[in-house]
């Protein structure tokens, strides 16, 4: 069951990032009060980096018990573990290491040090994802590219049509680096809440198309909605064509 998107427009990227961080911390605390161990799917990208920094700033004043949070990634670049291009490394530096999520609850996607090739990396993550009960995702956060891609699901690529697996290898990403691992639509759609984080004029067209009647093959963001909530957290520039 998909949910109608709600749109929140904020003045600029920093205000947007702080708003998302506040919403995330509140949602994690609420989930824990309801007896759940919230599972969060993080994303890569610029605005996500600002959100992570805001989480680190706001976390000390929140009621979140980070020993009862589980982290996943929606996609990851298949590069060396210490590469600056790793989404997980950026998130760890920004907030994950600071808030102290137990290591066994931080599920990075494999790097070139963990798997022989990107296909093996995807298979390994699929096994971890299945074993640790990621059928109950609290919130999935997704950046979006100017072409409407989310995670590493790009327009016109075969991964868009995968309905029988939760994780795929993407050998030919048009956004460098080329080799990536990505969750698929079926996995992303199992989330209670899907949050799109989008900033900047360059994405205004994709935002308008995603909120309009674009086809998923053209704007992959169209293919994801949450079971309970779908929210677009965007800034004024990204909202300028809606």
Ligand X SMILES: O=C(O)[C@H](O)[C@@H](O)[C@H](O)[C@H](O)COP(=O)(O)O
Contacts of 104 (CB under 8 A, 6+ apart): none
CB of 202 to ligand X, least distance (A): 8
Q: With residue 13 as reference, give the H or E element that holds it.
A: helix 13-33
Q: Does 205 bind ligand X (CB under 6 A)?
A: no
Encoded tokens for 154: 């790009």
Quick note: the x/- pattern for ligand X over 164-203, rule CB under 6 A, is: -----------x----------------------------
**Residue 219 found at the interface with ligand X (CB under 6 A):** no
Q: Does 155 bind ligand X (CB under 6 A)?
A: no
Q: Taking CB under 6 A as the rule, which mask of x and - marks residues 66-85 in contact with ligand X? A: ---------x-x--------
Options 13-21, 100-108, 139-147, 205-213: segment touching ligand X (CB under 6 A)? 139-147
- Tell which phi-psi region holds residue 11, choosing left (phi > 0), alpha (psi between -120 and 50) or beta: alpha
Q: How far is the CB of 34 from ligand X (least distance, A)?
A: 29
Q: CB of 29: closest distance to ligand X in angstroms?
A: 25
CA atoms within 13 A of residue 166's CA, in its CB half-sphere: 23
230 counts as binding ligand X under rule CB under 6 A: no
Least separation in angstroms between residue 152's CB and ligand X is 6
**Of 119, 224, 112, 129, which is closest to residue 181 (Cα–Cα)?**
119
Give CA–CA dist 170/234, Å, rounded.
27
Size of the site for ligand X (CB under 6 A): 16
Residue 179's alpha-carbon distances to 72, 169, 173, 187, in angstroms, are: 19, 8, 6, 20
Q: Which is nearer to ligand X, 79 or 98 (CB)?
A: 79
31 counts as binding ligand X under rule CB under 6 A: no
* Binding of residue 111 to ligand X (CB under 6 A): no
Q: In terms of residues, how long is the chain?
A: 242
Establish if 231 lies at the interface with ligand X (CB under 6 A): no
* Tokens found for residue 80: 């060396």
According to DSSP, the residues that pair with 39 across neighbouring strands are 70
CA-to-CA distance for 60 and 41, rounded, in angstroms?
21
- Which C-beta is closer to ligand X: that of 46 or that of 83? 46
Member of 10, 41, 59, 87 binding ligand X (CB under 6 A): 87
Which residues are near ligand X by CB under 6 A?
Answer: 43-48, 75, 77, 87, 143-145, 149-151, 175
């Amino acid at each position: 069951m998909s949910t109608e998107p709600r749109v929140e427009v904020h003045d600029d990227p920093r205000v947007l990032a702080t708003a998302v961080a506040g919403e995330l911390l509140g949602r994690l605390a609420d989930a824990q009060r309801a007896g759940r161990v919230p599972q969060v799917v993080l994303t890569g990208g610029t605005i996500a980096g600002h959100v992570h920094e805001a989480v680190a700033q706001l976390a000390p004043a929140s009621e979140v018990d980070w020993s009862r949070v589980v982290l996943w990634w929606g996609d990851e670049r298949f590069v060396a573990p210490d590469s600056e291009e790793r989404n997980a490394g950026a998130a760890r530096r920004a907030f994950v290491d600071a808030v102290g999520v137990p290591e066994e609850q931080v599920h990075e996607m494999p790097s070139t040090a963990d798997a022989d090739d990107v296909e093996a990396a995807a298979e390994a993550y699929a096994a971890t994802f299945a074993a640790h009960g990621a059928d109950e995702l609290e919130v999935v956060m997704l950046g979006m590219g100017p072409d409407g891609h989310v995670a590493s699901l790009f327009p016109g690529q075969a991964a868009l049509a995968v309905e029988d697996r939760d994780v795929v290898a993407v050998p030919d990403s048009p956004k460098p680096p080329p080799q990536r691992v990505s969750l698929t639509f079926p996995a992303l759609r199992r989330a209670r809440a899907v949050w799109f984080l989008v900033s900047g004029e360059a994405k205004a067209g994709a935002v308008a198309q995603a909120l309009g009647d674009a086809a998923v093959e053209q704007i992959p963001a169209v293919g994801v909605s949450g079971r309970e909530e779908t929210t677009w957290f965007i800034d004024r520039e990204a909202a300028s064509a809606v």
